[in-house]
Amino acid sequence: MEVLFGVHPVTEAVRTRPTDLDHVTIQSGGSPRLSDLADLCRASRIRVVSASRDDLARMTRTETHGGVVAFLRERRALTLEDLLTSPPSTGNHLLLALDGVEDPHNLGALLRTADGAGVSGVVLPERRAAGVTGTVAKAAAGATEHVRMAKVTNLVRSLEQIKRENVWIVGLDERGSQVYTDFDFTGNICLVLGREGAGLHDLTKRTCDFLLSIPMLGAVPSLNVSVAGAVVLYEAARQRRLAATPVRDQPAPKPSKPRKGLGS
């Protein structure tokens, strides 16, 4: 059974897959937001149970549960084929692959950014990486209910499979030869981000078609992976939005009057 906690993740779960929820436990005497969530659950015919803040902390093993915890069936896991065979609404894929991101808060922040930037699918390794837990869902503020995610056993083999679908594999590396703003993100792209501190594995780097960098103007050589991912994904979103916007016909410039100059 899947456990979610926090107002945003539970609210999105109630809205998107109410039939999966077994019940929702809400802190007694909570805030008006919790009361609104309880009303939403009841309107969706989901059983609501009251409990103390300490009981919720024991259920979730954290003090930052937000006053609510939901118990629901685990969603069906997607495969890489599911991501590749489902055409994105924009016409071109913008995939995100994570090469061993271990911090659940970083993973949650990246999934939230992926949702906001229009990523069509996220590729996650099954081993040596953070899983999609309640902590991740809370950090993602409900985005885990909307981002399409596939778990793979071997990331490098999966990247090779993505390549065969005519998708460019683009890694982010502080020693990358090309600045990210100079790259064309309007085609089929899979952005690959590496581990906290260590970055991309060597074999992953060799699998990439391009390695991009983010210029750093201070003494620190790189950004946190979730921040770096947000910077590059929103540059990709900006380029793709501009490419999809039709250029309006500009009025022809009015002819200027002849100007007299020397020798006239």
Q: How far is CA 81 from CA 60, 143, 161, in A?
A: 33, 21, 9
The predicted structure's pLDDT at residue 246: 73
The predicted structure's pLDDT at residue 207: 97
Strand 168-172, strand 189-193: pairing: parallel
The predicted structure's pLDDT at residue 1: 85
Q: How far is CA 6 from CA 19, 75, 137, 192, 223, in A?
A: 19, 18, 8, 29, 28
Domains of the chain: 2-72 (3.30.1330.30), 80-244 (3.40.1280.10)
State both tokens at 134: 């309640």
The predicted structure's pLDDT at residue 259: 45
CA distance 20 to 4: 12
The model's pTM:
0.87
* Average pLDDT by stretches of 10, the chain with 264 residues: 93 95 92 94 96 93 93 90 81 94 96 96 93 93 94 97 96 93 96 93 96 93 93 97 74 51 41
The predicted structure's pLDDT at residue 158: 98
First to last CA, the chain: 88
